[in-house]
Structure 1
Amino acid sequence: PKLLLLDEPVAGMNNAEKAVLMDDVRRIGARGCTIFMIEHDMRFVMALCEDIAVLNFGRIIARGGPDAIRNDAQVIEAYLGRDDDDAPAPPPR
């Protein structure tokens, strides 16, 4: 195929099954197939993908390789939260 769409392919898989799937996806990609994957297992994504787009509430907040995504301030804020010192003050009551 020219394009392979994967929607949460590792949901419910153990680590051994994930490793087999990762090898299969790499092999398919090496043949020139474009792979579009939606996945929440970020370890799997970071180990496999060259170009990652991160969405937050339906909007792309970052795009790039694993290192760029790992260090992106918007990704960190959206998925890990902010430091208390950086958080906005709560509204007055």
Structure 2
Amino acid sequence: MDRQESEEKTQSTADMTAFVQDLLQQMQNRFQSMSETIVSKIDEMGSRIDELEQSINELKSEMGTEGSPSPLTPTKAKPEEPADGST
């Protein structure tokens, strides 16, 4: 192997190393960006869940203070009178 081939091989190796380092940096940047986006979305969902929970609790307290029966609580029906009018 002569000197020129050795230099070309060294340059090729350096170019490949630089390419791989650049590629890894790009991947790391993309991963960081996606991680930040995911964390942001999770925080946003947490806030929405908290707001929903607060709204549900407010509705529960409004229903309790109005004294209206719960839709799940059966109401007592009046006994039916006989059709012929006798009691």
Question: Which structure: greater strand fraction?
Answer: 1
TM over 0.5: no
Higher relative contact order (CA 8 A, sep 6+): 1
| Shorter-chain TM-score range | under 0.3
Give TM-score scaled by structure 2 length.
Answer: 0.22
Give TM-score scaled by structure 1 length.
Answer: 0.21
Task: Please tell me whether Structure 1 or Structure 2 has the larger radius of gyration of its CA atoms.
Answer: 2
